[in-house]
Amino acid sequence: MIDPIERIDLFPLRIKLKRPFVISLGRVDYAENVVVKIETRSGLTGFGECCPFQTINGESMETALVVGRYLKDKLINLDPLDIEACIGRMDSIIYGNSSIKSAFDIALHDIAARSAGLPLFAFLGGKLKKTLITDYTVSFGNPEAMVAEALEIMNQGYPAIKIKVGGTLQEDLCRVREIRKAIRPDIPLRLDANQGWSLETAIGVLSELDGMNIEFCEEPIPRWDFMNLAKVRKASPVPIMADESCGDHHDLERMIALGACDYVNIKLGKSGGLYKALKMIRLAEQFEMRVQIGGFVESRLGFTASAHLALSSGCVSWCDFDTPLMLEEDPVIGGIRYGFGGVVEVPEGIGLGAGIEGKSLTKSPKGIRG
């Protein structure tokens, strides 16, 4: 045990997007995130970040700050290296709230990796032996605007393009077909319906897309209708990736038992952090399931944690790390860096390797300090 947790601060982090980001669940104009900073008695510090997403995990920046107060008060004086006990304490205090819990979890892992003198990916059991490459997402809209955005993405060298869908059958077929015609055929497309289709519409759209170099479709039907996801998978020539319906390892166990999906999208804000995300990865390894590591609208701080996780296992086949590139401001010190064509460079120093500029954290009066 190192020195116990002495101080926990929570700060709101609100950053405007360069242009609105639209999915079937609604429009996003600002990243409204929460940063958690944990300090031990000897001054060892860890950072974490979450992006509460109201329509997916039922949290907002405001509710995350309130729940964060409950959590921080119960973690003071605990051993930061006993991550399992800290996660158990948070889960015993309040059900759900996976987003804000993930920010605490990332900060705890930052401290643990720093204490071990290891980069976070090494602390998680990974190696810096593969190149991480992110796709880039076309926002939901009319076909002409989506084609124009897809062409921009192609010209920036991204090796894969993600398309937000979730409208009517004919509208979405038009969106996909027009983008496919405009984009080089060797560039794969990835679809994300964000629960926007009915069972019938999902099968109707996906059955028309064979031979169009589409890698997968994320969450085609509502999360509550997961019992029917296997029907979509059986009827679809496009592989199915579970997202909103699969938050943690318990959810993944159920999805595997149902034969509901080919792949799974792991997000720290859904799993509750790295501790449970690693349990999901171990399950995926056991069942030889390929994994995407994604996120919400976190800054480079949150996605740095996701990138470390992506290096922890060979079953991680895809990265969806594009949203920090959509933000007007970048307050992060250190962290992942983006190269041409979506290449993501992961910091090799000890711990998470990322933090937030002090002025970005102190300018808001709504933070919770100490």
Catalytic residue numbers read 164, 192, 218, 243, 267
Q: What is the separation, in whole angstroms, between the first and last Cα of the chain?
A: 22
Torsion angle, alpha carbons of 190, 158, 280, 355, to 10:
-140
Helices (H), 220-267: 229-235, 249-258
Rg of the chain over Cα atoms, rounded to whole angstroms, equals 20
User: Do the bridges between strand 132-133 and strand 136-138 make them parallel or antiparallel, or are there none, so unpaired?
Assistant: unpaired
Q: How far is CA 105 from the centre of its chain?
A: 14
Residues whose CB is less than 8 angstroms from the CB of residue 160 and which lie 6 or more positions away in sequence, other chains included: 133, 135, 187, 188, 189, 190, 215, 318, 342
> Residue 5: enclosing H or E segment and its boundaries?
strand 5-23
Task: Identify whether the C-beta of residue 241 lies closer than 8 Å to the C-beta of residue 264.
Answer: yes
3-state DSSP call for residue 26? strand
- Assess contact for 215 and 230: CB atoms under 8 A: no
Residue type, 77: N
Cα distance between residue 355 and residue 13, in whole Å:
13
- Tokens at 240, concatenated: 């199915």
